[in-house]
Amino acid sequence: MRIIVARQSDGTYLLRPPPSVRTPPNGSTTGLPAADAAELVRTWETEHAPRWVFPRVEHDYPPLVAHGVRVGRCLDLALTEYLLLAHAGRHRESRSLAAAHARALGLPPPTETASDHHDLDDDFTLFDVHSSGLPPDVSPVEAAEVVLTDQERRMRQLDHPDRMRLLVTAESASALAAVEMSADGLPWRADVHRALLTDLLGPRVAAGQRPRRLTELAERVAAAFGGRPVNPDHPGSVVRAFRREGIEVPSARTHVLRRIDHPAVAPLLEYKELARLHSAHGWAWLDQWVRDDRFRPVYVVGGVVSGRWASRGGGALQIPKMLRGCVRADPGWTLVVADAAQLEPRVLTALSGDRALVEVSASADLYSSLAGALFGRAPTDDDRARAKIAMLSAMYGGTAGEAAALLALLRRRFPRAVSYVERAAREGESGGVVRSRLGRTSPPPSDAWRALTGAGDETDARRAARDWGRFTRNFVVQASAADWTAVLLATLRRTLPAPAHLVFFQHDEVLVHCPAELAPQVVRCLDDAVRRTTALVFGPACPVRFPMPATAVRVYADAP
């Protein structure tokens, strides 16, 4: 059973249930305030457990969640529209309800604004599914019904419709999880955060001023350069200061400075680290993003073209290690932290079916096992690091330094795995597109790229082709890893015991907040979700091991 729910621009809701569903005594399912719509959704969820159809979960679901509603499953028409458009090589077309409705009827879409799927900003008007672009006599639920039928037709025409249906289901469930995670928030001790800032930076100062510790470090930097003024916040000023000392540096980046023997380096590196903390996660960030001891970012499902999540403000996917001590479970609760070990190399193994690499993947530490297979000896730490370089070179196309020789060794030992990504690279170099395991599709190169590679300078053309080949080489792996994690989230969300709930997700890591006594059950749910996800994405006979060890901790920083 499916029930369509659409939130209008005035904040009221339209619901369209099938005739078999009992409606309220007054029969009204249109123009409902959020509270009334939430009550109706709650009742129907309990009685029928339908698959809800939202034009866009990110827009339609939050007010319902704010009124205490959680639904089990749904279809997100906007996310589905993007996946189907991308599959047809039409990444830049609008996924708005009005545009999708027009396409379904064979009509020209309303005026559209071209946008890359992975470009994020604070104004998502392109994806406002309840814009005035709909014909005046068509309601959002009527349009959604038309779009849903058309999307199902288009899916049936794909080479692997079952895979796309799985992806659409998982992506839609991920959208539900993202809204719920924003509403619940990540437990975050603001007092611990403030104490840390004061300890590292000194007392809080007015906006635009340097905290005491940054001022002291800036003075040490200037003293190291003979007392001449240097602005450590300005890379050009730092480069010029070194030049005056007879040291030529290409930039003021951290990895460049670490190679220099000069008394200014130590205070500069400390300054850069603390200045980054102050600007990205300082007092202003704390005021804006942490409320009631909860960090509440806005997650954007599929915000990156490969299918990875993004966030709109708050840097949710880049929590520095030094701040993980602020993430603390509530009294009597715990955090279950799980991280998929070497996910992308294992995904490549499953995609390629390389039997020798399957044997390597049986180890919890794939890189150590890989080093033993590559170098024929008990691996040292250096061997492991070189094996990792070899694998990353295969997936990202690296050839600098030792990478080329290590990649050649990997190719000889694991030809099927390396051939898989190299075929993807050649497809990109020729201007083609590649797909993930479940059907995410890489964007085609731009017209400017085609002009350059078709009739431009030969050197520039070759460089542009190689660059795009590196993108498609990695896309098949990274996007397939995004497939796997989307299915994992969907599975885990449905199987966690109440009141345990997801509070954080970052590429291949999840955090679950739960009562301490439920931690063992949550760990078992994670283990089961990993097994089921692997079978769903790669087939029940997939021999590749995907370890995702889980640890219960009170403080995020204590997780291994």
Q: Per-residue DSSP letters for 23-56?
A: PPTT---SSB-HHHHHHHHHHHHHHH--EEEES-
Token match 């300082």: residue? 282
Close Cβ partners of 57 (under 8 Å, ≥ 6 residues apart): 74, 76, 78, 79, 172, 175, 176, 178, 179
| Mean pLDDT score across all residues of the chain | 94
User: What 3-state DSSP class applies to 505?
Assistant: strand
112 pLDDT band, cuts 50/70/90, is: low
Q: Over the stretch 157-206, which tens digit does the pLDDT of each residue have?
A: 999 999 999 999 999 999 999 999 999 999 999 999 999 999 999 999 99
3-state per-residue secondary structure call for 60-124: HCHHHHHCCCCCCEEEEHHHHHHHHHHHCCCCCCCCCHHHHHHHHCCCCCCCCCCCCCCCCCCCC
Distance, in Å, from the CA atom of 210 to the CA atom of 190, rounded to the nearest integer, reads: 21
**Side-chain-facing half-sphere of 35: CA atoms under 13 Å:** 0
Residue 117 pLDDT > 70, yes or no?
no
Q: Over the stretch 7-33, which tens digit does the pLDDT of each residue have?
A: 999 999 999 999 999 887 777 899 999
Confidence (pLDDT) at 24: 79
Tokens representing 539? 């087939």
Return the minimum-mean-pLDDT range out of 112-121, 125-134, 268-277, 339-348. 112-121
Confidence (pLDDT) at 132: 52
Q: Which residue has the higher pLDDT, 113 or 433?
A: 433
Tokens representing 220? 């040490």
Close Cβ partners of 108 (under 8 Å, ≥ 6 residues apart): 102
Treating both helix axes as pointing N-terminal to C-terminal, what angle do 403-413 and 415-429 enclose, rounded to 10 degrees? 120
Confidence (pLDDT) at 317: 87
Distance, in Å, from the CA atom of 560 to the CA atom of 556, rounded to the nearest integer, reads: 9
Confidence (pLDDT) at 433: 97
Output Rg (C-alpha) for the chain, integer angstroms.
Answer: 26
Confidence (pLDDT) at 498: 96
Q: Please, what is the end-to-end C-alpha distance for the chain in angstroms? A: 44
- Assess contact for 473 and 421: CB atoms under 8 A: yes
Average pLDDT over residues 279-298: 96
DSSP conformational letter for 307: S
Residue 48 pLDDT > 70, yes or no?
yes
Q: C-alpha 158: how far from its chain's center?
A: 26
Tokens representing 27? 């029969």
Q: Over the stretch 217-238, which tens digit does the pLDDT of each residue have?
A: 999 999 999 999 999 999 999 9
Q: Over the stretch 503-534, which tens digit does the pLDDT of each residue have?
A: 999 989 999 999 999 999 999 999 999 999 99
Distance, in Å, from the CA atom of 81 to the CA atom of 307, rounded to the nearest integer, reads: 14
- Assess contact for 312 and 170: CB atoms under 8 A: no
Confidence (pLDDT) at 338: 98
- Assess contact for 43 and 25: CB atoms under 8 A: no
Residue 122 pLDDT > 70, yes or no?
no
**Residues pairing with 336 in the sheet:** 512, 552
Torsional sign, CA 30, 33, 35, 36: negative
Average pLDDT over residues 421-433: 97
Distance, in Å, from the CA atom of 537 to the CA atom of 437, rounded to the nearest integer, reads: 7
Residue 428 pLDDT > 80, yes or no?
yes
Close Cβ partners of 374 (under 8 Å, ≥ 6 residues apart): 383, 386, 387, 390, 406, 409, 410, 413
Confidence (pLDDT) at 119: 38
Distance, in Å, from the CA atom of 548 to the CA atom of 532, rounded to the nearest integer, reads: 13
Distances (CA, A) of 248 to 234, 243, 267, 317: 16, 5, 19, 35
Distance, in Å, from the CA atom of 74 to the CA atom of 57, rounded to the nearest integer, reads: 9
User: What 3-state DSSP class applies to 338?
Assistant: strand
With pLDDT > 90 as the criterion, what percentage of the chain qualifies?
A: 90
Q: Over the stretch 377-426, which tens digit does the pLDDT of each residue have?
A: 999 999 999 999 999 999 999 888 899 999 999 999 999 999 999 999 99
Tokens representing 434? 């590649």
- Model pTM greater than 0.85? yes
Widest Cα–Cα separation across the chain: 84
Beta-carbon count within 10 A of 144 CB: 26
Locate all alpha helices (DSSP H) within 362-509, ordered by sequence: 366-375, 381-396, 403-413, 415-429, 447-455, 458-495
Tokens representing 63? 């007010």
**Cis amide prior to 499 (ω within 30 degrees):** yes
DSSP conformational letter for 250: S
